[in-house]
Amino acid sequence: MCLGMTGKAQASSVSCSGTIAPTTEGHAEDELVYDVKCDEDIQGYSITSNRELAYFGTETVVFGTDGEVAEGESFGCEGSIPSWGIGCQGKMSAGNTVESSIGTSEALCEAAVQPKFWVTALTTQDVKGTPTPFVSEPYLLKITPCAVLNPTKKAMAKRDKVCAKVASAKSKKARTAARKRCKAAIKAVKKLKAS
């Protein structure tokens, strides 16, 4: 029999919060803007989600508590596309706010569950006189819930609308294009029902 030794794990003391919301003024379709604030100095953060990401802002803006841009503070963000998260390195003082953007692969509410986004921060803490990096727990960013979450119902409505155009197409070329869109819509419904 093996017995595991239990002990007190060292944890990051930083606490972070923030919001995320859709924007129509961004650089990409289905873009969201986010802001993050922490109660300690941080050297990096990551944003993760239950939605696949197709875009993210590589540069950020950090604002001070006075609402002005914080001199000498920023982050550079990296990550794969598509992915389920990004990582950003740089620096921000306690109480300041970093702002940037990300974009989802599909419309935010095209899923069976509500969208969620988390921020995890990187800090440096003193451990017996030695500066030591610590990663925080994930903090949920505030987002307005989707009013309707039913991708299958939406896909079926789209299928019916698209497939109805096959019969009303006025030329052979238009009918061929309509059939192609109809087949794709039928396939999308089958895929959703199977998942």
Residues 49 and 129 in one domain: yes
Residues 105 and 131 in one domain: yes
For position 131, what pLDDT does the model report?
A: 83
What phi and psi values does residue 124 have, to the nearest 5 degrees? -120, 125
For residues 24 and 46, the model is more confident at 46
2 in a structural domain: no
Alpha-carbon distance 18 to 101, whole Å?
13
Cα pseudo-dihedral 107, 108, 112, 114, rounded to 10: -170
For position 3, what pLDDT does the model report?
A: 44
- Domain enclosing residue 183, as ranges: 151-194
Please check the confidence at residue 54 and state whether its pLDDT lies above 50. Answer: yes
Residues 27 and 106 in one domain: yes
**What is the CA 72 to chain-centroid distance, rounded?**
26
For position 99, what pLDDT does the model report?
A: 95
Residues 125 and 163 in one domain: no
Please check the confidence at residue 2 and state whether its pLDDT lies above 60. Answer: no
For position 139, what pLDDT does the model report?
A: 95
Q: Domain holding 25: CATH number?
A: 2.60.40
For position 4, what pLDDT does the model report?
A: 45
For position 5, what pLDDT does the model report?
A: 42
Alpha-carbon distance 139 to 120, whole Å?
6
**What is the CA 129 to chain-centroid distance, rounded?**
37
Token output for 2: 């093996």
Residues 103 and 189 in one domain: no
Q: What is the tally of structural domains in the chain? A: 2
116 in a structural domain: yes
Residue 162 CB neighbours (<10 A): 19
Residues 101 and 188 in one domain: no
Residues 132 and 157 in one domain: no
Please check the confidence at residue 1 and state whether its pLDDT lies above 50. Answer: no
Please check the confidence at residue 9 and state whether its pLDDT lies above 70. Answer: no
DSSP bridge pairs for 33: 21, 101
Task: State whether the Cα torsion 59-72-124-138 is positive or negative.
Answer: negative
6 in a structural domain: no
pLDDT digits (tens, 9 = 90+) for 95-149: 999 999 999 988 888 777 889 999 999 998 878 888 888 899 999 999 998 887 7
pLDDT digits (tens, 9 = 90+) for 143-190: 998 887 767 777 788 888 888 888 888 888 888 888 898 898 888 888
For residues 110 and 81, the model is more confident at 81
